[in-house]
Structure 1
Amino acid sequence: MSERLRPRDVALLAEESPTTPMHNATIEIFEPGASGFDYQRLVDLVHDRISFVPRYRQRIQTVPGRIANPIWVDDEHFDIGFHVRRSALPRPGTLDQLRELVSRIVSRPLDRSRPLWEIYVVEGLADGQFALLTKSHHVLVDGIDTVDIGQVLLDTSPDTKELGADEWRARRGPSPFSLIAGAVKDSATDVDTVVDTVRTTTGAVLRGAAGGARTTGRVIDALTNRTPRSESPIIGPLSQQRRVVTVRTDLADHRKVREAHGGTINDAVLATVTGALRAWLMTRGESMRGIRKIRALVPVSVIDDELEATALGSPIAAHFVDLPVGEASPLVRLHQVSYSFQADKESGRGIPAARLAGMSGFAPATFHALGARVAGAERRKGYQLCVTNVPGPQAPLHAAGARMVATYPVPPLFEGRPLAIGVTSYDGAVFYGINADRDMLPDADLLGQCVREALDELVDSAAPSRNRAPRGRRKRKTPETP
């Protein structure tokens, strides 16, 4: 019998709705190599590497009567052309145009009748560049049996290694009778199957009741002309549309902050996010007196025998930190963020960034996916924002001979949280990816500008006073930089 979905995966499927598609996405921008690059080369690359992630050729099959959790089965009609899609911008395409296209694509849920992933090849960018947009469902990338497909597509050398595509043939899917018989057999021989089914069924009933209560509450509020009071300006209902913002910064700037004030690159990143949120909220006319902190969930890689290990070598755990957006001083914000991680640093529980980035076959997309799973599991803990920060390799990576020059994570949004931020450091740069609800936060582009300004403010504070540039005089990087 094929592998059965675990309760946490079934819960993720149950939580998905048109306003909360449960997938992670990554934007990668490439410069073609000397031999060029085209759509067929990428299809051939995926075909060669997909055997290393076999679940990417499987779909979810439910059990009649839902007497047991669904199972993974081979997709007998697997069509690589359906999953690897081709698109283009009017030449020369700009980064703004790419972001708009990405925003529309990530807003759409994946087709559950097929394997839960898509890759878009976006051609037409300026200077001959092209982009890859990958989408993978949360249940597909669990970090234990399956990693993100981006992990197997990237090479450290421009010379593509032919790993040898397998002669894959889909196994015939089970009949309804076989599904029922398999569920009965598993229930009789494996107590975990019974426990998982009861847990999943109970959870589905509770989630349905909670969903009905939320719907009833919204109807009553509408009839009485009331607006539900929110304790945070970044908490609210989601629409079905997203707005994706990308910001490229220099890793050297983050290192200057670390060298001048101590702490880690992660501290500098979170202080930058804090400063950006503060400036952005002020431009919206929010009173900083009432908004002193924003509670953030930051997934971290840890050493912990009690947590489930991943195929990448370490468990991912939730770390909660209060981002001090009400604090005016950038240095105080930095030190407060750094202090919140001090206990993990001193205990040795946290894994250093250098060790993470040096892992064999490391790809940030998988860690971002695992971080999103943690955020989803902890979504009832009351945090307002998820920030995933993943240190990537500082040497260039390639796909089918093309060099990757930028990689932006696009983290998912969970119900009631219209903003999420992902950060990846790679090849001397730090890439911020912001995913925002298009209706709830129409000014998300402004938040991207505030990220650059908040980092500039920290860098200025790290320079000797006689060498500091006057505030507002630092030359801004063009938003068209990939």
Structure 2
Amino acid sequence: MTRRVNPAETVGAREIGNSGEYGTRVVVDSPRRLNALEAMMWRAEADPRLRHPVVIVDLLDVEPIWDRVLDSHDRATRSVPRLRDRVLEPWWGWGLPEWSADPSFSLAFHVRRMRLAEPGGLSSLLDVAATWAATPFDRARPPWEALLVTGLDGGGAGYLLKVHHSLADGVGLVQILSLLHGHGREPEPAGPVEVSPSRDGRSRFGLTAARTVGMLGAAPAALLGGVSAMVGVAAGHARHPVTAARDGAAFAASAARAAVPHHVHPSPLLRHRSLNRRFLVWDVELEGLRRAGRAAGGSLNDAYVAAVLGGVARYHRRMGEPVPARVPVGMPVNTRVGSDALGGNHWAGLRFAAPVGEDDAAVRIRLVRDIVAGLRQERITDALGLIAPLLAALPPVVLARVQGGATRGNDVQVSNIPGMTRLAFVAGARIERSYAFGPLPGGAVMVALLSDADTCHVGATVDPAAVTAPEVLTACVEEAFAEVLALG
């Protein structure tokens, strides 16, 4: 989680250059069919509270050149077909949806610009970004949008990118951004775009027919294979009944520990939910946070999570509420490897009872370290991935109730995303700071850390119905980071 890498090095088997105006594109295409986890996130939006946008906000030192912004996006979408694909659902939920070329793709719909009213400060930009993030995608189009916001104080600008989580997780989104970034103000010589083979768009009828034929064709083999496997398992269990029972119990217990924190209830202070969002940000010295983690016997990620928990505890006190001993927290763990294609989702979901009530920051860091290390060693670390195929097969309304019942129980979600390690530019404008804002599917607070060469940029998506005083939470988390940094 805390390893800092250059996103261009994690894309796939073939080398990928930088932005569309910077060199030749050679891109490994992505799978056509959504996996079960991606289908689950897409279909759960039958409940609008379970929307899954991932947003990046880049602060730029000057206003970029608009024509170059359009050109870089055009070249990126031509070299990565997924950016011109929409999600096509089979009728009756007959199997998993797939990515299909949008026959009416229009770059003008996906890349837009606006100007802030004066005075255009960071808080105004974040308010625009939060409102924009809460606006649902047009589900008949490719699920991503970019927005250039000009008029910031000092002549700066903001570049915002919103992507549906089914298209990319946080690391995948940073990879997509690498296609749009340059390494200087002047455009480098741009070679021809090597476009991946185009795919014909399929109709919903054609997709449903293909799914039906595929399922009917696979049914006999699947049935025979299932019967054979069951006979083999039964024979093995008959020979070793004690071992089989012990392994089965250990398997089930491992899955439960990885999925649900025992005897932990959400905080009453954070219980309300709405469709509204607020964005909050903090900047923390990367090396200082790493030193603090090491000083307490943990990692940078342990120190980061402990600081967020400390901020939540302070917020309870400041609001005159008792601090719970523990609260339910969700955390994705990156499982991406070098051969994985650009974008997509490669993560396992952990959920644990986080020690909010521990006042000593060093002890809190060690508790987080031990809890996360224990979950990583479970036989089943990805309980969500294990049951995702079953959930994705449910009717969307039922799926939304099941998923919402689980995610609404999370008071806090935390994520750590490795960012860029060198200067980056958007159409001639230098990126000074970059923040990631994760989705908030039913929870109260989602905090994401995006690191660069020397700074951890921390962004939080909060539900103002749960966090009724966002400015107070901002101050509390800032104080908690200062407390953790003092350990180093």
Would the aligned equivalents of 1:92 and 1:125 in 2 still touch at CA under 8 Å? yes
Would the aligned equivalents of 2:176 and 2:342 in 1 still touch at CA under 8 Å? no
Which amino acid counterpart does residue 331 of structure 2 have in structure 1? V
Would the aligned equivalents of 1:156 and 1:396 in 2 still touch at CA under 8 Å? yes
Would the aligned equivalents of 1:9 and 1:139 in 2 still touch at CA under 8 Å? yes
Would the aligned equivalents of 2:423 and 2:430 in 1 still touch at CA under 8 Å? yes
CA RMSD of aligned residues (A): 3.8
**Displacement after TM superposition at 1:69 (Å):** 3.6
Unpaired runs of at least 5, structure 1: 196-229, 351-375, 463-482
- 2:353 is matched with 322
Report SS of the residue matched to 2:279.
strand
The more displaced of 136-145 and 398-407 is: 136-145
User: Closer, same or farther in 2 for the Cα pair 1:234/1:47, shift >3 Å?
Assistant: farther
- 1:78 is matched with 105
- 2:78 is matched with 51
Would the aligned equivalents of 2:266 and 2:409 in 1 still touch at CA under 8 Å? no
**Displacement after TM superposition at 1:103 (Å):** 1.5
The more displaced of 173-182 and 236-245 is: 173-182
2:176 to 149, 153, 177: 149
Structure with more helix by fraction: 2
Report SS of the residue matched to 2:215.
helix
- 2:38 is matched with 9
- 1:23 is matched with 53
1:430 to 446, 456, 461: 456
- 2:236 is matched with none
Report SS of the residue matched to 2:151.
strand
Listed as ranges, the matches of 1:382-393 within 5 Å are 383-393=410-420
Q: Does 1:300 align with 2:300?
A: no
Cα distance in 2 for partners of 1:76, 1:303 equals 31
Cα distance in 2 for partners of 1:53, 1:81 equals 17
Cα distance in 2 for partners of 1:130, 1:122 equals 6
1:185 to 213, 217, 228: 213
**Displacement after TM superposition at 1:325 (Å):** 1.7
Report SS of the residue matched to 1:19.
helix
Cα distance in 2 for partners of 1:28, 1:295 equals 31
TM-score for the superposition, normalised by structure 1: 0.71
Report SS of the residue matched to 2:167.
coil
Measured against aligned partners, the alpha-carbon deviations of 1:360-400 in whole angstroms (never above 9, x if no partner) come to xxxxxxxxxxxxxxxx7994696432100123233222222
Would the aligned equivalents of 2:175 and 2:343 in 1 still touch at CA under 8 Å? no
The more displaced of 50-59 and 104-113 is: 50-59
Measured against aligned partners, the alpha-carbon deviations of 1:108-145 in whole angstroms (never above 9, x if no partner) come to 11110111111110111112211111111122126999
Report SS of the residue matched to 1:438.
coil
- 1:285 is matched with 320
User: Closer, same or farther in 2 for the Cα pair 1:191/1:31, shift >3 Å?
Assistant: farther
Would the aligned equivalents of 2:110 and 2:145 in 1 still touch at CA under 8 Å? yes
Q: What count of residue pairs does the alignment treat as equivalent?
A: 393
Would the aligned equivalents of 2:171 and 2:418 in 1 still touch at CA under 8 Å? no
Measured against aligned partners, the alpha-carbon deviations of 1:5-59 in whole angstroms (never above 9, x if no partner) come to 4433332222113222221111111123xxx623222111111122343111011
**Displacement after TM superposition at 1:233 (Å):** 3.3
User: Closer, same or farther in 2 for the Cα pair 1:127/1:190, shift >3 Å?
Assistant: farther
User: Closer, same or farther in 2 for the Cα pair 1:244/1:166, shift >3 Å?
Assistant: same
Cα distance in 2 for partners of 1:145, 1:425 equals 15
2:306 to 246, 268, 271: 271
TM-score for the superposition, normalised by structure 2: 0.70
User: Closer, same or farther in 2 for the Cα pair 1:182/1:45, shift >3 Å?
Assistant: same
Which of 1 and 2 has higher RCO (CA within 8 Å, sep 6+)?
A: 2
Unpaired runs of at least 5, structure 2: 1-30, 224-264, 382-402
Listed as ranges, the matches of 1:99-110 within 5 Å are 99-110=126-137
Cα distance in 2 for partners of 1:147, 1:248 equals 18
User: Closer, same or farther in 2 for the Cα pair 1:164/1:275, shift >3 Å?
Assistant: same
**Displacement after TM superposition at 1:238 (Å):** 2.5
